[in-house]
Amino acid sequence: MALETLDDIYQRAAARKGGVHKLNILLGSGSQDHLLKNITDDRFLSEFSKKVFQSGFVWRVVENKWLNFEESFFNFNIEKVLMMPEEMMERKASDPKIIRNFNKVKTIKANAEMIFEEQQQGHSFAEFIANWPSDDIIGLWAYLKKHGQRLGGNTGPYALRALGKDTFLLSRDVEAYFRAHDIITGGIQTKSSLNAIQASFNSWQQQGDLSLGQLSRLIAYATGDNHIHLEEIADAE
């Protein structure tokens, strides 16, 4: 089945969401990558850590405890986290004020190392992320998976989205779209599937001026169940 045009997808989504005006509101703003350079690297470590803990867990519980995490891990200051000895990490992992999961606590230091290593190239980690091209966003996902810990699957992409990096998300609706149109047939995280999905988004970006995030939401609105309130709560995906 041939890849649909951006206009066809847009018109279907608009019809399902009550018109062009309502759809545009739901799609939100475009790429804000240029603002990423203003974010300090400790905020990247904080968000990566939060998404690691939220993975497979109740997000609200993690959110409610996050101020305790900030306090326990020196506001995610990269240098201070890297200086934490193993015994301190173990003590932190047993503190009931945070979520007691030592395996996930260890990722905080591991991901701080990833950020520190990139800083040694003469730029901030924020600049590195901001400058990553949108036409190879799956390459950035692969980088986080390879150089970080527990940032594979949807964890890394959701963290990037939360920080403001323009990225699509492989939600159930987005995956359903690509399967229904025979663009992918194997596992969603296989190299061939990811390449096919990236190529599709690249094609749609060439047809209009929507960001990856907007396109990702558009696919969800044109594909999934027509429940606007639920989609708004779940970032439409």
pLDDT of the residue at 57: 92
pLDDT of the residue at 226: 61
End-to-end Cα spacing for the chain: 24
- The residue type of 85 is P
User: Residue 9 in contact with residue 216, Cβ under 8 Å?
Assistant: no
Q: Residues 6 or more apart from 73 whose CB is under 8 A from it?
A: 49, 81, 84, 92, 108
User: Residue 169 in contact with residue 237, Cβ under 8 Å?
Assistant: yes
Q: Residues 6 or more apart from 137 whose CB is under 8 A from it?
A: 166, 167, 168, 198, 201, 212
CB atoms inside a 10 Å sphere around CB 33: 19
User: Residue 126 in contact with residue 30, Cβ under 8 Å?
Assistant: no
pLDDT of the residue at 124: 97
CA distance 112 to 109: 5
pLDDT of the residue at 231: 36
Q: What is the pTM of this model?
A: 0.92
pLDDT of the residue at 229: 42
User: Residue 16 in contact with residue 101, Cβ under 8 Å?
Assistant: no
Mean pLDDT by 10 residues, the chain (237 residues): 91 96 94 93 98 94 97 98 96 95 97 98 97 97 98 97 97 94 95 98 97 97 67 40
Residue with tokens 């229904």: 180
108 in helix, strand or coil? helix
CA distance 180 to 137: 23
Q: Which of 171, 183, 180, 144 is nearest to 160 (CA)?
A: 144
The upper half-sphere exposure of residue 35, i.e. CA atoms within 13 Å in the direction of its Cβ, equals 10
pLDDT of the residue at 1: 66
pLDDT of the residue at 235: 41
User: Residue 149 in contact with residue 179, Cβ under 8 Å?
Assistant: no
